[in-house]
Chain A
Amino acid sequence: MMVCDNCKERQASVIFTQENEGVTTERHLCEKCAFQSQMFHLDPSQEPLSIQQFLSHWFGGVESMQPFQQTQEGIPDGPTCPDCGLTFKKFLDIGKFGCPTCYSTFKERLPRIFSKLHNGHTTHVGKIPVSFNELFAVKKKIEEIRAQMQQAIDAERFEDAALLRDEAKALKQRLAACQDGGGDNDVN
Chain B
Amino acid sequence: MSIDKFMKGSVAGWMKSSGEHADIVMSTRIRLARNLRGHLFPIASNPEDAKKVDESVTNALLNSGEKGYEYMRMSEVPLLDRQILVEKHLVSPQLTDPKRNGAVILSADETISLMINEEDHIRIQCIYPGFQLENAYEHADSVDNELEDRLPYAFDEEFGYLTSCPSNTGTGLRASVMMHLPALTITKQIDRIIPAITRLGMVVRGSYGEGSEALGNIYQISNQTTLGKAEKEILADLKNVALRLIAHERRSREVLLSKSRVALENKLFRSLGIIKYARLLPTGEAARCLSDVRLGIDLDIIKDIDMSILNELMIFMQPGYLQHYAKTDLTAEERDIFRADLFRERLRVKHVEKEDTEE
Do A and B actually bind? Answer: yes
Interfacial residues, chain A to chain B (CB-CB below 8 A)? 9-11, 31-32, 35-36, 83-86, 94-100, 103-104, 107, 110, 113-114, 117-132, 136, 182-183
**Chain A residue at minimum C-beta to C-beta distance from B227:** A118
CB atoms of B231 and A118 under 8 A apart? no
Which residues of B are found within 8 Å of A85, using beta-carbon distances? 44
Whether the pair A99, B40 counts as a contact (CB closer than 8 A) is yes
Which of B6-14, B122-130, B167-175 interfaces with chain A?
B167-175
The residues in B between 111 and 170 inclusive whose CB is less than 8 angstroms from any CB of A are: 119, 141, 144-145, 148-149, 151-167, 169-170
- Given A96-B164, A99-B44, does the pair A118, B159 have CB atoms closer than 8 Å? no
Decide if B273 is an interface residue (CB 8 Å cutoff).
no
The docked-state distance in angstroms from the alpha carbon of A128 to that of B160 is: 7
Per the bound structure, the CA–CA distance linking A186 and B130 in Å amounts to 45
Main secondary structure of the interface of A (DSSP, over half): loop
B43 near A32: Cβ-Cβ < 8 Å = yes
Question: What distance in Å separates the Cβ of A35 from its nearest Cβ neighbour in chain B?
Answer: 5
Residues of B within 8 A of A (CB): 35, 37-41, 43-44, 97, 99, 119, 141, 144-145, 148-149, 151-167, 169-171, 173, 201, 224-231
User: Which residues of the other chain, A, contact B171 by a CB distance below 8 angstroms?
Assistant: 124, 126-127
**B228–A97 touching, CB < 8 Å:** no
Q: How distant is the Cα of A144 from the Cα of B70 in the complex, in angstroms?
A: 48
B44 x A126 contact (CB < 8 A): no
B169 touching A126, Cβ below 8 Å: no
10 A–B contact pairs at CB < 8 A? A9-B99, A99-B44, A118-B170, A118-B224, A119-B224, A124-B169, A126-B231, A127-B161, A128-B160, A129-B153
Provide the residues of chain A in CB contact with B157, threshold 8 Å: 124, 132, 136
Q: Which residue of chain B has the shortest Cβ distance to A91 in the bound complex?
A: B166
Q: What 9 pairs across the A-B complex have the smallest Cβ distances?
A: A121-B228, A124-B160, A182-B152, A98-B44, A100-B154, A126-B230, A118-B227, A99-B40, A84-B44
- B167 surroundings in chain A (CB, below 8 A): 117-118
Q: Which of B141, B224, B228, B231 has the most CB of A within 10 A?
A: B228
Residues of B within 8 A of A123 (CB): 158-160, 227-228
